[in-house]
Amino acid sequence: MAIGGKAGAVFTEINVTPLTDVFLVLLVIMILIAPQANQTVLKVDPPAAGAAKPHEEDKSQKINVDVLASGVVKVNDHSLTSPDPATIAAAIKAEFDKIGKPDVQLNLSSDGDALQKYVVGVMDAAAGCGIKNLRVMPIKNK
């Protein structure tokens, strides 16, 4: 910082000391508050796998899709040879067209170790067909 200079010159340098003090105080406050913010976690217990009672429905009004951990996708107990998104979409569309009603329910059962891309592919295909009733559930042990 130069002291002196021409008479009447405007002082244009910024004093950063107060700014630094404010940032340091904010940093200390954040360091003290951050550990306490993680302790307030919303505790939600997911429902058990067998909690819901299945109700009897007409099986002709539903499309059942099983996604297995081995990579096999079954649409109404028909295994797909190559479960890529196009094949999954075609199989669901064929079943949807067979039923011919807009209020079709799609039951998606998935293993816990199934690949996410197949589960998302089934959901995407269902949305593409216009299916609005989608039930996602774990595969029951047989």
Q: What is the pTM of this model?
A: 0.55
- Summarize pLDDT for 41-98 with one digit per residue, the tens: 556 566 566 655 555 555 557 888 888 888 888 888 888 877 788 888 888 888 888 8
- Would the pLDDT of 9 be above 80? no
The CATH number of domain 59-138, selected from 3.30.420, 3.30.450, 3.40.50, 3.30.2010: 3.30.420
Domain boundaries, the chain: 59-138
Structure tokens at 33: 């508050």
CA distance 39 to 61: 47
Q: Please compute the mean of the pLDDT values over residues 116-125 and round it to a whole number.
A: 85
Measure CA of the first residue to CA of the last residue in the chain; give whole Å: 81
CA 73 to chain CA centroid, nearest Å: 20
Q: What is the pLDDT of residue 20?
A: 95
